[in-house]
Amino acid sequence: MSAKLIDGKAFSNQLVDKIARQVSLLQSVHHFTPGLAVILVGEDPASQVYVRNKAERTKKSGMRSIEHRLPEQTSQEELLALIDKMNRDEAIDGILVQLPLPAQIDDKAVIQAIAPEKDVDGFHVVNAGLLATGQPGIVPCTPYGCLLLLQDHFGDLSGLHAVIVGRSNIVGKPMAQLLLNAHATVTIAHSRTKELEKTCQQADILVAAVGRPEMITGDWIKKGAMVIDVGINRVPAPERGEGKFRLTGDVAFDSASRQAAAITPVPGGVGPMTIACLLRNTLVAACRRRDIVIDEF
Ligand code: GUN
Protein backbone atom coordinates (compact mmCIF):
# COMPACT_ATOMS: atom_id res chain seq x y z
CA MET A 1 0.00 0.00 0.00
CA SER A 2 1.24 3.46 -0.82
CA ALA A 3 0.94 6.47 1.47
CA LYS A 4 -1.54 9.27 0.95
CA LEU A 5 0.31 12.21 -0.55
CA ILE A 6 -0.26 15.38 1.46
CA ASP A 7 -0.73 18.27 -0.95
CA GLY A 8 0.72 21.23 0.94
CA LYS A 9 0.28 23.46 -2.07
CA ALA A 10 -3.48 22.90 -2.27
CA PHE A 11 -3.85 23.22 1.52
CA SER A 12 -1.82 26.44 1.57
CA ASN A 13 -3.89 27.88 -1.31
CA GLN A 14 -7.04 27.35 0.76
CA LEU A 15 -5.34 29.08 3.68
CA VAL A 16 -4.26 32.04 1.54
CA ASP A 17 -7.83 32.34 0.17
CA LYS A 18 -9.15 32.43 3.73
CA ILE A 19 -6.56 35.09 4.66
CA ALA A 20 -7.47 37.11 1.56
CA ARG A 21 -11.14 37.12 2.61
CA GLN A 22 -10.18 38.38 6.09
CA VAL A 23 -7.91 41.05 4.59
CA SER A 24 -10.75 42.23 2.37
CA LEU A 25 -13.04 42.43 5.43
CA LEU A 26 -10.44 44.46 7.35
CA GLN A 27 -10.19 46.87 4.42
CA SER A 28 -13.94 47.42 4.19
CA VAL A 29 -14.76 47.47 7.91
CA HIS A 30 -11.58 48.82 9.54
CA HIS A 31 -10.08 50.74 6.59
CA PHE A 32 -6.56 49.41 6.70
CA THR A 33 -4.42 46.88 4.85
CA PRO A 34 -1.95 44.75 6.83
CA GLY A 35 1.68 45.29 5.76
CA LEU A 36 4.57 42.82 5.83
CA ALA A 37 8.15 44.09 5.59
CA VAL A 38 10.81 41.63 4.42
CA ILE A 39 14.50 42.49 4.66
CA LEU A 40 17.11 40.66 2.62
CA VAL A 41 20.79 41.40 3.22
CA GLY A 42 23.16 40.22 0.50
CA GLU A 43 22.74 38.08 -2.58
CA ASP A 44 22.24 34.50 -1.33
CA PRO A 45 20.46 32.84 -4.29
CA ALA A 46 18.16 30.60 -2.19
CA SER A 47 17.19 33.56 0.02
CA GLN A 48 16.42 35.65 -3.06
CA VAL A 49 13.97 32.98 -4.26
CA TYR A 50 12.33 32.71 -0.81
CA VAL A 51 11.94 36.49 -0.52
CA ARG A 52 10.49 36.78 -4.02
CA ASN A 53 7.95 34.01 -3.25
CA LYS A 54 7.02 35.64 0.05
CA ALA A 55 6.42 39.02 -1.63
CA GLU A 56 4.31 37.43 -4.39
CA ARG A 57 2.11 35.53 -1.96
CA THR A 58 1.75 38.58 0.30
CA LYS A 59 0.40 40.62 -2.60
CA LYS A 60 -1.84 37.73 -3.69
CA SER A 61 -3.46 37.77 -0.25
CA GLY A 62 -4.24 41.47 -0.64
CA MET A 63 -1.69 42.61 1.95
CA ARG A 64 1.01 45.20 1.36
CA SER A 65 4.51 43.87 0.75
CA ILE A 66 7.42 46.14 1.70
CA GLU A 67 10.80 44.86 0.53
CA HIS A 68 14.22 46.08 1.59
CA ARG A 69 17.21 44.65 -0.27
CA LEU A 70 20.44 45.70 1.43
CA PRO A 71 23.99 45.14 0.16
CA GLU A 72 26.14 42.27 1.47
CA GLN A 73 28.44 44.68 3.37
CA THR A 74 25.59 46.30 5.37
CA SER A 75 26.66 46.82 8.99
CA GLN A 76 24.73 45.53 11.99
CA GLU A 77 24.09 49.15 13.08
CA GLU A 78 22.51 49.99 9.73
CA LEU A 79 20.26 46.94 9.88
CA LEU A 80 19.26 47.65 13.50
CA ALA A 81 18.44 51.26 12.56
CA LEU A 82 16.11 50.05 9.79
CA ILE A 83 14.39 47.61 12.16
CA ASP A 84 13.96 50.37 14.74
CA LYS A 85 12.31 52.57 12.11
CA MET A 86 9.93 49.75 11.13
CA ASN A 87 9.13 48.92 14.74
CA ARG A 88 7.83 52.50 15.07
CA ASP A 89 6.01 52.54 11.71
CA GLU A 90 2.27 52.19 12.41
CA ALA A 91 1.62 50.90 8.88
CA ILE A 92 3.93 47.89 9.27
CA ASP A 93 2.43 44.87 11.01
CA GLY A 94 5.07 42.24 10.42
CA ILE A 95 8.87 42.35 10.09
CA LEU A 96 10.90 39.44 8.72
CA VAL A 97 14.67 39.47 8.32
CA GLN A 98 15.64 36.67 5.96
CA LEU A 99 18.27 34.31 7.40
CA PRO A 100 21.12 33.54 7.06
CA LEU A 101 22.72 36.96 7.50
CA PRO A 102 26.27 37.89 6.43
CA ALA A 103 29.01 37.05 8.95
CA GLN A 104 29.48 40.62 10.26
CA ILE A 105 25.89 40.63 11.60
CA ASP A 106 24.83 38.81 14.77
CA ASP A 107 21.49 37.22 13.91
CA LYS A 108 20.47 36.86 17.58
CA ALA A 109 20.89 40.63 18.15
CA VAL A 110 18.83 41.30 15.02
CA ILE A 111 15.99 38.97 16.00
CA GLN A 112 15.82 40.46 19.52
CA ALA A 113 15.63 43.97 18.02
CA ILE A 114 12.31 43.22 16.30
CA ALA A 115 9.28 44.26 18.36
CA PRO A 116 7.79 40.94 19.59
CA GLU A 117 4.29 41.94 18.41
CA LYS A 118 5.68 42.40 14.86
CA ASP A 119 7.94 39.31 14.93
CA VAL A 120 5.98 37.26 12.37
CA ASP A 121 8.73 34.62 12.29
CA GLY A 122 8.04 33.94 15.99
CA PHE A 123 11.80 33.79 16.70
CA HIS A 124 12.03 36.50 19.41
CA VAL A 125 12.69 35.11 22.91
CA VAL A 126 9.39 36.62 24.08
CA ASN A 127 7.48 34.60 21.49
CA ALA A 128 9.61 31.49 22.12
CA GLY A 129 8.90 31.84 25.86
CA LEU A 130 5.17 32.32 25.32
CA LEU A 131 5.06 29.16 23.19
CA ALA A 132 7.11 27.19 25.72
CA THR A 133 4.68 28.16 28.49
CA GLY A 134 1.55 27.53 26.40
CA GLN A 135 0.52 31.18 26.11
CA PRO A 136 -0.64 33.01 22.98
CA GLY A 137 2.20 34.65 21.09
CA ILE A 138 3.42 34.38 17.53
CA VAL A 139 4.40 30.87 16.50
CA PRO A 140 7.19 30.00 13.99
CA CYS A 141 5.73 29.46 10.53
CA THR A 142 7.19 26.11 9.45
CA PRO A 143 6.23 24.13 12.57
CA TYR A 144 2.81 25.79 12.63
CA GLY A 145 2.27 24.72 9.02
CA CYS A 146 3.26 21.15 9.98
CA LEU A 147 0.80 21.20 12.89
CA LEU A 148 -2.05 22.26 10.59
CA LEU A 149 -1.25 19.36 8.21
CA LEU A 150 -1.10 16.90 11.12
CA GLN A 151 -4.40 18.11 12.60
CA ASP A 152 -6.02 17.91 9.18
CA HIS A 153 -4.94 14.26 8.88
CA PHE A 154 -5.46 13.00 12.44
CA GLY A 155 -7.94 15.46 13.94
CA ASP A 156 -7.04 15.12 17.62
CA LEU A 157 -3.33 14.49 18.30
CA SER A 158 -3.82 13.53 21.97
CA GLY A 159 -1.59 10.69 23.08
CA LEU A 160 0.05 10.13 19.70
CA HIS A 161 3.80 9.62 19.83
CA ALA A 162 5.60 12.30 17.81
CA VAL A 163 9.30 11.93 17.09
CA ILE A 164 11.00 15.06 15.80
CA VAL A 165 14.41 14.56 14.24
CA GLY A 166 16.19 17.91 14.57
CA ARG A 167 16.52 20.39 17.43
CA SER A 168 16.81 23.80 15.75
CA ASN A 169 15.25 26.94 17.20
CA ILE A 170 13.40 27.46 13.91
CA VAL A 171 11.79 24.01 13.53
CA GLY A 172 12.64 21.23 16.00
CA LYS A 173 12.13 23.00 19.33
CA PRO A 174 8.97 24.97 18.45
CA MET A 175 7.53 21.87 16.74
CA ALA A 176 7.98 19.96 20.00
CA GLN A 177 6.24 22.72 22.00
CA LEU A 178 3.31 22.89 19.57
CA LEU A 179 2.84 19.12 19.67
CA LEU A 180 3.05 19.08 23.47
CA ASN A 181 0.44 21.84 23.62
CA ALA A 182 -1.70 19.62 21.36
CA HIS A 183 -1.32 16.77 23.92
CA ALA A 184 0.99 14.55 21.86
CA THR A 185 3.80 12.59 23.52
CA VAL A 186 6.98 14.11 22.16
CA THR A 187 10.52 12.86 21.62
CA ILE A 188 13.15 15.21 20.22
CA ALA A 189 15.88 13.22 18.50
CA HIS A 190 18.96 14.46 16.67
CA SER A 191 22.18 13.37 15.03
CA ARG A 192 23.67 12.21 18.36
CA THR A 193 20.63 10.26 19.53
CA LYS A 194 21.56 6.66 20.30
CA GLU A 195 19.48 4.16 18.36
CA LEU A 196 17.96 6.89 16.22
CA GLU A 197 16.43 4.35 13.87
CA LYS A 198 14.65 2.52 16.72
CA THR A 199 13.39 5.82 18.12
CA CYS A 200 11.91 6.76 14.77
CA GLN A 201 10.26 3.35 14.44
CA GLN A 202 8.13 4.19 17.49
CA ALA A 203 6.63 7.30 15.95
CA ASP A 204 2.99 7.75 14.98
CA ILE A 205 4.12 11.17 13.76
CA LEU A 206 7.62 11.54 12.35
CA VAL A 207 8.89 15.04 11.65
CA ALA A 208 12.20 15.13 9.78
CA ALA A 209 14.11 18.42 10.09
CA VAL A 210 17.79 17.51 10.03
CA GLY A 211 18.97 18.85 6.67
CA ARG A 212 20.47 15.55 5.52
CA PRO A 213 19.20 14.35 2.15
CA GLU A 214 17.11 11.17 2.33
CA MET A 215 18.58 10.13 5.68
CA ILE A 216 15.32 8.57 6.90
CA THR A 217 14.41 5.46 4.95
CA GLY A 218 11.29 3.29 4.90
CA ASP A 219 12.67 0.77 7.41
CA TRP A 220 12.80 3.58 10.03
CA ILE A 221 9.06 4.17 9.75
CA LYS A 222 6.23 2.47 11.61
CA LYS A 223 3.48 1.11 9.37
CA GLY A 224 0.69 3.68 9.26
CA ALA A 225 2.69 6.65 10.58
CA MET A 226 2.36 10.18 9.22
CA VAL A 227 5.67 11.53 7.91
CA ILE A 228 6.32 15.27 7.67
CA ASP A 229 9.45 16.08 5.68
CA VAL A 230 10.75 19.57 6.47
CA GLY A 231 14.08 19.11 4.66
CA ILE A 232 14.81 20.95 1.42
CA ASN A 233 18.17 19.73 0.10
CA ARG A 234 19.74 20.51 -3.27
CA VAL A 235 21.53 17.41 -4.52
CA PRO A 236 23.39 16.84 -7.81
CA ALA A 237 21.21 15.27 -10.53
CA PRO A 238 23.58 14.24 -13.34
CA GLU A 239 20.68 12.38 -15.01
CA ARG A 240 19.18 15.82 -15.73
CA GLY A 241 22.37 17.04 -17.35
CA GLU A 242 25.77 18.27 -16.30
CA GLY A 243 25.75 20.58 -13.27
CA LYS A 244 22.00 20.09 -12.68
CA PHE A 245 20.42 19.71 -9.24
CA ARG A 246 17.17 18.40 -7.84
CA LEU A 247 15.40 19.13 -4.57
CA THR A 248 14.94 16.33 -2.08
CA GLY A 249 13.84 16.05 1.53
CA ASP A 250 15.34 14.42 4.62
CA VAL A 251 13.19 11.35 3.91
CA ALA A 252 13.78 8.76 1.18
CA PHE A 253 10.38 9.29 -0.38
CA ASP A 254 9.79 6.02 -2.28
CA SER A 255 10.67 3.60 0.52
CA ALA A 256 8.98 5.79 3.15
CA SER A 257 5.74 5.99 1.21
CA ARG A 258 5.49 2.18 1.22
CA GLN A 259 5.36 2.26 5.05
CA ALA A 260 3.64 5.51 5.99
CA ALA A 261 -0.10 6.18 5.90
CA ALA A 262 0.53 9.76 4.79
CA ILE A 263 3.61 11.70 3.70
CA THR A 264 4.48 15.22 2.58
CA PRO A 265 6.44 15.49 -0.69
CA VAL A 266 9.44 17.75 -1.34
CA PRO A 267 8.79 20.11 -3.01
CA GLY A 268 5.07 20.83 -2.55
CA GLY A 269 4.59 19.69 1.04
CA VAL A 270 5.72 21.79 4.00
CA GLY A 271 7.32 24.60 1.92
CA PRO A 272 4.13 26.29 0.70
CA MET A 273 2.62 25.96 4.21
CA THR A 274 5.47 28.06 5.65
CA ILE A 275 4.59 31.07 3.51
CA ALA A 276 0.86 30.69 4.14
CA CYS A 277 1.55 30.66 7.90
CA LEU A 278 3.71 33.77 7.55
CA LEU A 279 0.70 35.55 6.03
CA ARG A 280 -1.51 34.12 8.76
CA ASN A 281 0.89 35.49 11.39
CA THR A 282 0.92 38.92 9.73
CA LEU A 283 -2.88 39.02 9.72
CA VAL A 284 -3.02 37.92 13.37
CA ALA A 285 -0.33 40.46 14.38
CA ALA A 286 -2.17 43.28 12.57
CA CYS A 287 -5.45 42.49 14.34
CA ARG A 288 -3.98 41.95 17.82
CA ARG A 289 -2.07 45.24 17.66
CA ARG A 290 -5.34 47.05 16.88
CA ASP A 291 -7.48 45.03 19.33
CA ILE A 292 -9.56 43.62 16.47
CA VAL A 293 -10.96 40.19 17.31
CA ILE A 294 -10.92 37.66 14.47
CA ASP A 295 -11.33 33.90 14.31
CA GLU A 296 -7.67 32.87 14.51
CA PHE A 297 -6.81 29.67 12.65
N1 GUN B 1 15.64 31.27 6.34
C2 GUN B 1 15.22 29.98 6.19
N3 GUN B 1 14.02 29.81 6.80
C4 GUN B 1 13.68 30.99 7.33
C5 GUN B 1 12.54 31.44 8.05
O6 GUN B 1 11.60 30.68 8.35
N7 GUN B 1 12.57 32.74 8.42
C8 GUN B 1 13.59 33.58 8.12
N9 GUN B 1 13.52 34.84 8.55
N10 GUN B 1 14.66 33.19 7.44
C11 GUN B 1 14.69 31.90 7.04
pLDDT of residue 126: 98
pLDDT of residue 1: 58
Which ligand 1 atom is at minimum distance from the Cα of 170?
Answer: 6
Residue 121 falls in the annotated catalytic set: yes
User: 180: CA distance to ligand 1 center in Å?
Assistant: 23
Residue 98 falls in the annotated catalytic set: yes
All structural domains of the chain? 29-115 (3.40.50.10860), 141-272 (3.40.50.720)
* DSSP track, the chain: --PEEP-HHHHHHHHHHHHHHHHHHIIIII----EEEEEEES--HHHHHHHHHHHHHHHHTT-EEEEEEE-TT--HHHHHHHHHHHHT-TT--EEEE-SSPPTTS-HHHHHHHS-GGGBTT--SHHHHHHHHTT--S---HHHHHHHHHHHHHHS--TT-EEEEE---TTTHHHHHHHHHHTT-EEEEE-TT-TTHHHHHHT-SEEEE-S--TT-B-GGGS-TT-EEEE---EEEE-GGG-TT-EEEE-SB-HHHHHHH-SEE--SSSSHHHHHHHHHHHHHHHHHHHHTT------
**Residue minimizing CA distance to atom 9 of ligand 1:** 98
pLDDT of residue 162: 98
pLDDT of residue 148: 98
Q: Which of 22, 98, 177, 259 is catalytic?
A: 98
User: 170: CA distance to ligand 1 center in Å?
Assistant: 8
**Residue minimizing CA distance to atom 4 of ligand 1:** 99
User: 281: CA distance to ligand 1 center in Å?
Assistant: 14
Average pLDDT across each block of 10 residues of the chain; the chain has 297 residues. List them in order: 93 98 98 98 95 97 98 98 98 98 98 98 98 97 98 97 98 98 98 97 98 98 98 95 95 98 98 98 98 93
Whether the pTM exceeds 0.95: the reply is: yes
Q: Is the CB of 120 under 6 A from ligand 1?
A: no
